[in-house]
Amino acid sequence: MMRRLLILSALLLCFQACAPARQSDYDFPVAEEPDTPQPEKPSGKRCFIWVDTYANMYELANSQDNIRRDLQKAADCGFTDIVVEVRASSGGLFYKSAHGDPVTWLSAYRDGKYIKIERTATFDYLQTFIDIGHELGLRIYAAFQTFSGGFTSSYGSTGPVFQHPELRDLVTVLNTRNGLKSMLDVTTDETAENFITFLNPVSPDTQDYLLAQIRDLAQYAKTGLDGIILDRGRFYGYQSDFSASTRTAFESYLGRKLEHWPEDVCPVGWGFDAENKRVVESIPTPVPPYHYKWLEFRAKVIYDFMAKARETVKAVDADLDFGAYAGAWYGSYYPNGVNWAASSYDPSKYFTWATPQYRDYGYAGLMDVLILGAYAPANALYGSTEWTLQGFCNLGKNKVQGAAGLLVGGPDVGNWDPYDKVSFETECRAIANSVTICGQVMDAYFLFDMCHLRNNNQWQYAKEGIQTLNKQYNQ
């Protein structure tokens, strides 16, 4: 805005310097320039709320009335944008596609336990959100769980890699302490949280498979869809992908053959601490000879896919927003192969894991909407570092540097106190405060997830925060 004002001032000075003599020097009147109409300031900042498939399936998958109920609640609170997941982490679809299978069942947490929920309704889930949402003045974005291909629980396995054996070759290969294994074959002492089966992002076949589904999803622009947001557009952490085809692709990128695989890029089993059952998010010591180039290569893979996905969406409708979700913890997000910063931001000046070329694969500039999950604890709202809500937002804005069309950020209000360190009342107040903390820094606010506001009856706190933010914004 300041730049625009400076340009306008310069133009006015130029106009005055080139203006004709004063009216008094002539016998005829000079018409005055009409006042330039000023655009109206929006009534408030945009506020996004996410609708996860698993967490909301019990309430929404089979009931258009419940969808209307919750969208009305969101609109009443002041939310302006709904992000509804339509490709689940199982890989099943909640929209019409010639290149994927509809969701038939999912297992979800309900009343303190996991239950199996079947989708028995036949109405178009996404189109219902679009129709009702637009009726209520809401924008509707479709969230697409990208490199996920299956889901396993105590009720069994579901998703395309389990329904179509020919797709199993697309499953990511993990570097485990017991060797290189398809994710379908690993055990709980070899990796963490393997209930979601990931696909190999490097594989051209994986990419073609997903781009076809994205192309079908973009067709909903014809019936009102406002945008598409890619989630899980990443590798499965440090442990992936170590398939033979990925090795070949990396050697091509590197310009030489590797003598030892995976040791030349990662130690055997690196990425999962079996003893403590936790993910490893640190550089190995000693550092393998091509480790940093490996991280650079993986960031390029994700950047290139995002560019293809954007092109696919825009080919269907140039006005359809394209975006992505990523975790705001940039300093430790690199094991996922994602650089969500602007290409003008050079992480090699601040982080040892980034090469000077790593910046070339910052994908913020590809995004019409970039959502950063600022998932700090409920008792860490203020601060200047990562893992504080305020710090996440400020640091994220600094790294994106205005490259994304709309930078959005906010908390996970249902999982930010897993160890019960704060009271329920404190969490409620934190919801209200989170809106102003994020909204003052970011272009728009984001809250994950709708189920938490519904299940905990916390809508009023989001409404309070949005009203406060908009009051400040309009002053």
pLDDT tens readout for residues 290-326:
999 999 999 999 999 999 999 999 999 999 999 999 9
H helical segments located in 219-337: 244-254, 291-316
What is the C-alpha to C-alpha distance for residues 440 and 89, in angstroms, rounded to an integer? 32
Model pLDDT, residue 10: 34
| Contact (Cβ atoms closer than 8 angstroms) between residue 240 and residue 279 | no
The H or E element that residue 324 is part of is strand 321-327
| Contact (Cβ atoms closer than 8 angstroms) between residue 267 and residue 242 | no
How many other CB atoms sit within 10 Å of the CB of residue 178? 13
- Low-confidence stretches of the chain (pLDDT beneath 50): 1-36, 38-39
CA 268 to chain centre: 30
Whole-prediction pTM: 0.91
* Residue 371, beta-bridge partner list: 325, 408
Model pLDDT, residue 40: 55
Q: DSSP letter string over 32-98?
A: PPPPPPPPPPPSS-EEEEEE-HHHHHHHHTT-HHHHHHHHHHHHHHT--EEEEEEE-TTS-BSS--T
| Contact (Cβ atoms closer than 8 angstroms) between residue 48 and residue 446 | yes
What is the C-alpha to C-alpha distance for residues 360 and 303, in angstroms, rounded to an integer? 9
Model pLDDT, residue 113: 86
- DSSP conformation class of 269: T
pLDDT in tens, 34-44: 344 544 556 78
Mean pLDDT of the residues in the chain:
92
* Residue 326, beta-bridge partner list: 372
Interior CA angle at 115 toward 114 and 120, to 5°? 145
What is the C-alpha to C-alpha distance for residues 191 and 273, in angstroms, rounded to an integer? 8
Exposure string (b/e) for 71-80, b if CB count within 10 Å is 16 or more?
Answer: bebbbebbbb
- DSSP conformation class of 183: G
Model pLDDT, residue 211: 99
Model pLDDT, residue 17: 32
Amino acid letter for position 333 = Y
Model pLDDT, residue 28: 27
Domain edges within the chain: 43-151+201-233+299-473
Residues whose CB falls within 8 Å of the CB of residue 8, separated by 6 or more in sequence, listed in order: none
Helices 125-135 and 64-77, packing angle to 10 deg: 40
- DSSP conformation class of 199: B
Model pLDDT, residue 108: 86
Residues whose CB falls within 8 Å of the CB of residue 259, separated by 6 or more in sequence, listed in order: none
- The dihedral through the CA atoms of 19, 20, 21, 25 has a sign that is negative
Model pLDDT, residue 42: 61
Three-state SS for 401? coil
Superfamily of domain 43-151+201-233+299-473: Glycosidases (3.20.20.80)
